[in-house]
Structure 1
Amino acid sequence: MKAPRQHPTPAVCQGPQYQAFDRLATLVAVIDSAGAIRFANNALEDAIGLSRRSLAGLALADWFSEPNLLQNAIQGANSHEYAVIRYDAKLQRLNNEALPVHVVLAKSEHGGELVVELLPLEQQTRQERELRLHEQAQANKELIRNLAHEIKNPLGGIRGAAQLLQLEPDARELAQYAQVIIHEADRLQALVDRLLAPHRRAQVIAEINIHEVCERVRALVLAEYPRGLALRRDYDTSLPEFRGDREQLIQALLNVVQNAAQALQPRIETGTAEIILRTRVQRQLTFGGQRHRLALELHVIDNGPGVPEAIKDRIFYPLVTGREGGSGLGLSLAQTFVQQHHGLIECDSVPGRTDFKLLIPLP
């Protein structure tokens, strides 16, 4: 790309109102009425590959493959034709391919300045997907909680009536049917209890070492599958401790690992099943609509058949399962527990490799 034009009096904005932009995950620039950069936040510095001091005074339009689009938008904003202007463009970067972005330009409250927000289109899609997932999870929780309570109330009456029926001397030939009713009522009761589990117990917050959580889960799963399953460790021991509910995270990870082990059953029988527990620390990571300085990435990777295509987009919904006899609650509860730690679980799956990634912010 050609060298951007340098305006004669570059100045870097340092006020607290601009420093707040550094906490945003999106790319933000503050420009003057002529289009010269006065401030670039950390995300924009990282994307372009220059510091804000180096960017100060340069024409922001020159960093786009079609600079006239931004120039026209600036003219429209200056003439008060539009309050907010949006369009798609490509941001040029040093030593990198152009980045497709959605541009949002608006007038600032500070005289003559314009704020330009650039949302990477891939990131925007991911944020929208995460928002939909979060909203769906909230709706599911409310629906499940209400539905579970509605189911729970008559269950006791059904079970009690069946027990009384068993005791009737004139209905002994019906005792086996009464026992079926009691058994099925108990099974439904257990299901309802699992549905209500995340809402019944308050979090117990303490310092957590994620590798202690991993080792606990590893021991439990290997006790269940002593042969045919290799459960390998790939830990980053530099990960700091963080505050959270240890039992919730053990249950969340256990649900994910057990889900992987169940999918690996054919490989377990041949002795070729493998699950990897991998921990990493990531910096400046964006998820849940926020940019996090540090985050834990905990991967559960298996060499199984992969998630069925028909349920890929719904695997974290309650009662959705790809396994015969499965309740469809394990991954839903795991997502709920991780979301209660301000994180989320993502899944990337192809035949032969499925990767469930647990993301949790670190202090």
Structure 2
Amino acid sequence: MTGIEKTSLSLGFVPLTDSAPLVVAKALGFFDDVGLDVTLQKQNSWATLRDKLHAGILDAAQMLAPMPIASTLGLGCRARKIVTPFVLSLNGNAITLSDALYLELKAHESIHPDQPLSAEVLNSVIARRSADGKAKLKLAHVFPYSCHHYQLLDWLKSGGVTLSDIDILTVPPVNMVDFLFSGEIDGYCVGGPWNAKAVRSGIGYTGLTSYDVWQDQPEKVLGFTADFVDQYPQTVTASCVAIERACRWLENIPNRFEAARMLTHSHYLDAPLDVIAPSLLGSCLTHEAAAPREVEQYNRFYSSKDHGVNVPSTERGRWLLNKMVEAGQLSSEDSASVSIDEIFREDLYQAISAEFVQA
């Protein structure tokens, strides 16, 4: 591509399986092909990644889909206008319970690993703990303004669980397995590979995936400050073209095994192949003593049948806003006043599509 204003780019990511498009674009030279020298910078928490993007330490970042909205509105941080021109992935999360909680549930309830777990089974545990004067169940998500948080809430509410009977915490993805092992939490909603890691370690039971809660909603997006987009529009387009090429490459299942190998590197996930590969291949590990469950759409990056996977549409942005309202993070009145088309920039995505047509 020609006319790129800034050729060196620092791109932040959190070590998760669905960072695959960024890693693939780097490893296979797709960034190089569009004239970009990209450095992928691993961050241990979403708050750290957000703050570095706001400060300009990072030029761009893999972000949780609700994060550009939260940043722009100043929810949990000083307001900074963040925009997304590209949806990196759909689905990809799961809810994992500690092995101790799983065994307690199994002793009193009918649990079927080949089916998504209903939160309704938690009610008996909650009642027993309350009667015995024990601490509440502690469940974690990765960030207040995350699909993980909203998926956890929706799952609990679907099972008739009273939210005040549960303690809900925020824990960085990379710390989830350690917190589960130590007993500091009883379960969590997180992305890969940290669900499979708990199962492989014999300390967790993955009861359901985010696809079982919501189907094909945005999970990760590519975020830039609005100032960066205004100053370097061709750089933004070039980076998205390279990443979309990676997303298209990832549609091919055999390619995903190769992507899993890339992700094992210490610069990226620094995790074994057997905890990274399953979700990429449509397999949900459930428990060390049970067979995996097939979830074909566990991770989605692109679809040649549905070209809307990567589109940051206003409908998707508005849907996420509604989830923020449901979670009590935003009033309906404030939500209605948000110009979501200035955050979820479908117009910028169209420029990316035009580049592919020209190619």
Bin of the TM-score, shorter chain as denominator length: under 0.3
Higher relative contact order (CA 8 A, sep 6+): 2
Structure index of larger Rg? 1
Scaled by the length of structure 2, the TM-score of the pair is 0.19
* Greater strand content: 1
Length-normalised TM-score, structure 1:
0.19
